[in-house]
Amino acid sequence: MKNKNLLSLLAPLFLGLCLIALPVNAADLAQAKSAGLVGEQMNGFLGLVQPDASAEIQALVKSINAQRLAEYQRIAAKNGVAVEEVGRLTAQKVIGQAAPGQFVETPSGWSQR
């Protein structure tokens, strides 16, 4: 039951993640995902598909992940659940909605949609 309540909170979170750090980061993130440099991980954070991505892309991932962590912590504290649970549930939603051609993490590694 707790997961259903948490899931209802994730809809606005998902929207918030899409809007986080607008306008520059959103455009940069979309480009990095389209180029296959960055993908969504199963823990709710971004990951580098290409470990040798530029310092700019690495900084973008680090910045967005820091913002996501802060939001996950806020939601976890409000609902009395683990931060990891919020991240995992968010990942399920984000990965499920990944656009064709984007990379997502699977138990066996990166997979292109």
pLDDT for 20 equals: 46
pLDDT for 28 equals: 85
pTM: 0.79
14: left (phi over 0), alpha (psi -120 to 50) or beta: alpha
Distance CA 74, CA 53 (A): 30
Mean pLDDT of 57-66: 93
Q: Is 68 exposed, middle or buried (0-12, 13-18, 19+ CB in 10 A)?
A: buried
Q: Which residue has the tokens 């530029």?
A: 54
